Amino acid sequence: MREIRRYLFWIRYDGSKFPEMAKGGTGFGVMDLLNQTVSQSIFGPRREQHPEQKDKLKFSPSSRTDAKVHAIRSSVICQVPLEFADLDKCPETKIQYMRTWKSIIDAANPGSLEILDAHSVSAGFCIRRSVSYRKYTYRLAVCRSWDLWDTIRQEPSIACFSERDYAWRLPPGFSPERLLRAGKIFEGEQVMGSFFKHTNREKRTEPISPSALKYIFYVGLSNGEAYSVENDIYDYYNVTIVAKSFVREQIRRMISCLVNYSYDRIPLSTVNWLLKNPISSNFYDMGIPVAPPQGLYLTDVVYDPNMFTKPVPYYLHSWDYE
């Protein structure tokens, strides 16, 4: 019999309240807080009370986002020792855990992280490879006039403060039509090597480079809205990008190209050239800045529900080899 049980956690988080998403950097990332929250609810405030079990509590996210990037709905797999695996034993138990998690997070870092749901999953389910698709949204806040732009650069308004950590604030001159035209170029199968942040150190340590071949289902544009303060300063736009997976920093580099083309700062031929010449150094060599992280949101991670109980194909997790 297996001595562990695995759960799928659904979470949302505010990237502005963390120095990073992944675990193991500063120790204060999204995954660190999630780990400590669930650990305390299971083992108590001091994990040393169960030293033989603490190492069996493990977490792995479906998507690693850059620092300052937000998530509206993301997924994390959690491995729990069987002795403590009663998280969804019955509705009442689950509700009590949810309340405990909220209480711990609110005390530690209010408004930073929310556990939306948790439910058990079968062995063979893979948090990353079982994904049907991921949906990201990038928020743009475009100033309505040059007079306003000059004014808020000298003295930011309350609306500017509200958007500072949650959108890319841009000057007038943005063309939605041009952005959408360029976005359609990305749809379909593409080798995203030029949009891949692959450092020299990573190239030295990885015997086989990750594949940059991706299929982008959709790139779209829609009207957005103010994050928290209604105002007459900005027009809001949401850029939506859907694919099964992405290479590191791909979306932020795509958004940079789309926005720069919309302002007529780069020609469409530059976008086509980057796609036809998939070398990771090309982006920086051309002097194109990467879009800032605070406007990016992981909107959803979608699975076929059958994968939770009858995963096909059956994947072995790295934990299974321990």
Residues 115-174: tens digit of each pLDDT: 999 999 998 999 999 999 999 999 999 999 999 999 999 999 999 999 999 999 999 999
pLDDT(75) > 60: yes
- Spans of all domains in the chain: 4-130+304-321, 132-300
Show the CA angle centred on residue 215, arms to residues 296 and 211, nearest 5°. Answer: 90
| 3-state SS class at 177 | helix
User: Mean pLDDT throughout 277-299?
Assistant: 94
Query: 47-51, 238-242, 288-292 — which is least confidently predicted?
Result: 47-51
pLDDT(201) > 60: no
pLDDT at 95: 94
What value does the mean pLDDT of the chain take?
Answer: 92
Q: What percent of the chain has pLDDT over 90?
A: 81
* Alpha-carbon torsion (166, 168, 170, 176), positive or negative: negative
Query: 54-58, 191-195, 257-261, 311-315 — which is least confidently predicted?
Result: 54-58
Nearest one of 33, 34, 26, 47 to 7, comparing CA atoms: 34
Distance in angstroms (rounded) separating the CA atoms of residues 71 and 109: 16
Predicted TM-score (pTM) of this structure:
0.93
pLDDT at 22: 92
Pairing of strands 58-61, 168-170: unpaired
Nearest one of 164, 65, 121 to 317, comparing CA atoms: 121
- The torsion angles phi and psi of 75, rounded to 5 degrees, stand at -125, 150
pLDDT at 202: 59
Residues 6+ apart with CB under 8 A from 86: 93
pLDDT(276) > 60: yes
Q: Does domain 4-130+304-321 have CATH number 3.40.50.300?
A: no
Exposure string over 90-123, b if 16+ CB within 10 A, otherwise e: eeeebeebbebbeebbeeebeebbbbeebebbee
User: Mean pLDDT throughout 262-278?
Assistant: 96
Q: What percent of the chain has pLDDT over 70?
A: 93
pLDDT band, residue 1 (cuts 50/70/90): very low
Query: 45-59, 81-95, 163-177 — which is least confidently predicted?
Result: 45-59
User: Mean pLDDT throughout 285-301?
Assistant: 96
User: Mean pLDDT throughout 76-91?
Assistant: 89
Query: 130-139, 208-217, 221-230, 305-314 — which is least confidently predicted?
Result: 208-217
pLDDT at 3: 76
Distance in angstroms (rounded) separating the CA atoms of residues 29 and 12: 13
Which fold would CATH assign to domain 132-300? Answer: Alpha-Beta Plaits (3.30.70)
CB 257 within 8 A of CB 266: yes
Asked if domains 4-130+304-321 and 132-300 share a fold, the reply is: yes
The count of other CB atoms within 10 Å of the CB of residue 151 is 14
Distance in angstroms (rounded) separating the CA atoms of residues 83 and 5: 9
- The torsion angles phi and psi of 28, rounded to 5 degrees, stand at -120, 30
Distance in angstroms (rounded) separating the CA atoms of residues 254 and 105: 34
